[in-house]
Amino acid sequence: MTDLATPFSRVKIRVGALVFCGDEVALIRRDRPSGSHYTPPGGGVKAGECLLAALRRELAEELWLDPNDATPPELCWVQDQMVTRPGPTPSPRKLHLVFRCHVTPKVRAQLATVEHDELPDGSTELGIIEWVPYRRAEHLPLFPLIGAAVSALASPDAPTGNPHLPPITDANYTWK
C-alpha cells in the first residue's frame, strides 16, 4: 500500500502547449511577490481524462483556443518533477508533457490576453498571456524547465530531438 502522506508518493500529470505564431510563443506570466515566472498554457489531467482531451480543455480555458483553429498537437518533451514545496500537503511527483501547436496571426488576434487561475481557496490569480520570441525562452523564469530546449530549436517547427528532459529536483529548482 502506498503512503499518500509521503512526499512524491502521488503522481500528477500536467499537459501544456507551446502555442506558436511565427517565431513567437504564447506563455502565461504570473507576477508574485517573489518575482514573475512563466508557464506554457496547460494544467492538470483529471482522473479518467484522455491526455489530448485535457490539453484541448486547458487551451480552451486559458487561451480561448478552439482546437480546430490550431495545428494538431505534437508531443515534444517529457519532464519529471520531484521538488519539495512549502506547505502542509506532501509534495506530489509531477510529469510534465509539453506539446507544440501553431496558429495563424488571424487566430492569435482572437485569443485571450489574460487568464484567471483558480486557487484552492476559491480566489483567482491573474496571468498575462505574453507572446515572446521563442529564442528568449532560455532567459525567462520558465516552468517547467524547458527554456533551453525551446530556445535551441532551429525553427518553431524543427524536430525536438530527445523528448526526455533532465528531471526537476531540489538540486536545480527552488519552489517560489
| Neighbouring residues of 136: CB distance < 8 A, sequence distance ≥ 6 | 151
What is the three-class DSSP state of 2? coil
Express each pLDDT in 110-141 by its tens digit.
Answer: 999 999 988 778 888 899 999 999 999 999 99
3-state secondary structure 3-63: CCCCCCCCEEEEEEEEEEECCEEEEEEEEECCEEEEECCEEECCCCCCHHHHHHHHHHHHH
Looking at domain 11-169, its CATH superfamily turns out to be Nucleoside Triphosphate Pyrophosphohydrolase (3.90.79.10)
Express each pLDDT in 25-73 by its tens digit.
Answer: 999 999 988 889 999 999 999 999 999 999 999 999 999 999 999 999 9
Full-model pTM = 0.91
